[in-house]
Amino acid sequence: MESQRNVTGIVLAAGEGLRMGVTKQLLPFRGTTILECVVNSALASSLQQVIVVLGHQAEEIAPTLKNRNLSLVVNPGYRLGQSTSLKAGLRTLAADAEAVLFLLGDQPLVTPAIINLILGAYRDSGSPIVMPVFAGRRGNPVLFSKETFSRMESLSDDCGARSLFGEYAARLLTVSVADPAIHFDIDTQEDYQRLLQLEHSDAAGTNAF
């Protein structure tokens, strides 16, 4: 499937993070912010284009992403659910995009290597959906090929793209990764403290996962 190389990364970063009580996209991590770590990994990967979908406090978050080779989209309907951000990102795609990789804006430990592994599996298979799996459990980011785009446009506001997994189950491809980062997102203050502890453990040469 050598022709299927143009994959766009769509970083979903529009949510309010109500369980955090603060704007988690702006939380400090590795000398920058959580969202910037996600975006930097996307830009360092083999993705052809990177789109970041903002919503909550977009005016505060957008300046942190300046001077990067990406497209910013503001989703005014972000409170209606994640599917509104999926669709906002899809509507910004270049015409020649073959697939999209949806990255969560609160998964700063997902590396360019994980992204490239998923992209390679898609290039080799052409599967309509490619998702990473660690220890038998699926995670994020997940890739969707162009044939699924029309179905995503019909999703209800409070429904994410995972509703398509059953529809495409016979052709869905899972890719084993050796990194639990695909399961780790930042939803609560406890998650954020664990993230900082993991970083400290890594710096000390131990593994806290």
- Please state, in angstroms and rounded to a whole number, the distance separating the CA atoms of residues 80 and 50: 23
pLDDT of residue 24: 93
CA atoms within 13 A on the CB side of 39: 26
Query: pLDDT tens, 129-160?
Result: 999 999 999 999 999 999 999 999 888 756 67
The pLDDT score that the predictor gives to residue 96 is 92
- Euclidean distance between CA atoms 67 and 206, whole angstroms: 35
Q: What is the mean pLDDT of each run of 10 residues along the chain (209 residues)?
A: 73 87 92 97 97 96 96 94 92 94 97 98 95 96 95 76 89 96 94 92 60
How far apart CA 90 and CA 108 sit, in angstroms, is 22
Enumerate the domain spans of the chain.
7-203
Q: Is 148 left (phi over 0), alpha (psi -120 to 50) or beta?
A: alpha
Residue 20 CA to residue 174 CA, distance in Å, equals 31
Predicted pLDDT of residue 4: 45
> Which amino acid is present at 129?
I
7-203, CATH topology level = Spore Coat Polysaccharide Biosynthesis Protein SpsA; Chain A (3.90.550)
